Amino acid sequence: MHAAEPLSAPIVIAHRGASGERPEHTIAAYELAIAQGADVIEPDLVPTRDGVLVARHENEIGETTDVADHPEFRARRTTKRIDGREVTGWFTEDFTLAELRTLRAKERLPLLRPGNRAFDGQEVIPTLDEVIALAKQHGVGIYPETKHPTYFASLGLGTDEPLVAAIKRAGWDSAKAPVFIQSFEVRNLQRLKTMTEVRLIQLIESDGGPADGSVARYADMVTPTGLKAVSAYAWGIGPNKAMLWQGESPTAIVRDAHAAGLRVHPWTYRAENQFLPPAYRTSDDLKARGNVAAEISAVLRLGIDGFFTDFPAIGVRTRDAARGVE
């Protein structure tokens, strides 16, 4: 297959840090990703009760911290309805930052990534300001995602304003700043377009639609007409990696997005067989590592402008090899 040209030199986005090798969204995971050559680190952002943005994939923290081992917080376990789904556990918006600081992070996928359990209990939940400071110290960018923005806004804990304030404090408020803000929702990105000059990325799932109801289906967003509408407020799209292929043949998403002036950053490239298409698996053991480098190589030939990976070292080597970098 002839390689297509990206609109921008492909970047390696450390998905929740080097989360294949350290518990996700910890300073240790971000530091390892930086050491491995990632261009940007990704903090998913959720607020505390006192309005501080912290890095967690979800506001439910039972899976990623030792909160269940803290008897003083036992009564805070509850069930909430978030974006149409019932979720039971402990939630960041019910804790102050000081309370969250008494918890320690743990591996979210202990059966799949047992080696990461050696790092359980070592790391606190980092704040956005701490992630920014780390990124600035090492000269890399950040790629924050605002999680459930409509839900949090309904609680009076909007995430857009404190995020913009933080990046402005960092001196990052231009289209050239090393910042990409991403969201699965639409209206908050449109609002962010009026608040900051940094690059915005519309995340796109392979099914369903945005939780804010702004578009009926994500599928409508990846038509030429839909992509043109997205380009009015976003710099790029972040599609589920499965959307780039129909069997072994590429879909038109990369080509059509580029035609609309949008960069394409698919997610998420993981090394374990469980997450790989059958062609790239090395065995029937879903925990074993397959050939994710070959999967990344194939998608780079489509002309993507970057990609999310839990394994930045593999991603950097593969990207560099595809670009002929020694």
- Return d(Cα 53, Cα 72) in angstroms, integer: 23
Average pLDDT of every residue of the chain? 97
Q: How confident is the model at residue 1 (pLDDT cuts 50, 70, 90)?
A: low
Task: Give pLDDT, residue 236.
Answer: 98
Task: Give pLDDT, residue 2.
Answer: 63
Question: Which residue from 155, 156, 160, 167 is spatially nearest to 185, judged by alpha carbons?
Answer: 160
Task: Dump pLDDT digits (tens) for 238-284.
Answer: 999 999 999 999 999 999 999 999 999 999 999 999 999 999 999 99
The neighbouring-strand residues paired with 13 are: 40, 308
- Return d(Cα 91, Cα 250) in angstroms, integer: 40
Task: Give pLDDT, residue 115.
Answer: 95
Task: Give pLDDT, residue 324.
Answer: 79
pLDDT over 90 percentage in the chain: 98
For residue 241, how many other CB atoms are within 10 A of its CB?
Answer: 21
Task: Dump pLDDT digits (tens) for 201-237.
Answer: 999 999 999 999 999 999 999 999 999 999 999 999 9
Task: Dump pLDDT digits (tens) for 125-169.
Answer: 999 999 999 999 999 999 999 999 999 999 999 999 999 999 999
Task: Give pLDDT, residue 135.
Answer: 98
Task: Dump pLDDT digits (tens) for 82-109.
Answer: 999 999 999 999 999 999 999 999 999 9
In order of 28, 66, 77, 101, 321, the CA distances from 70 in angstroms are 23, 7, 11, 12, 47
Question: Which residue from 75, 45, 55 is spatially nearest to 157, judged by alpha carbons?
Answer: 45
The neighbouring-strand residues paired with 267 are: 240
- Return d(Cα 73, Cα 161) in angstroms, integer: 29
Q: How confident is the model at residue 312 (pLDDT cuts 50, 70, 90)?
A: very high
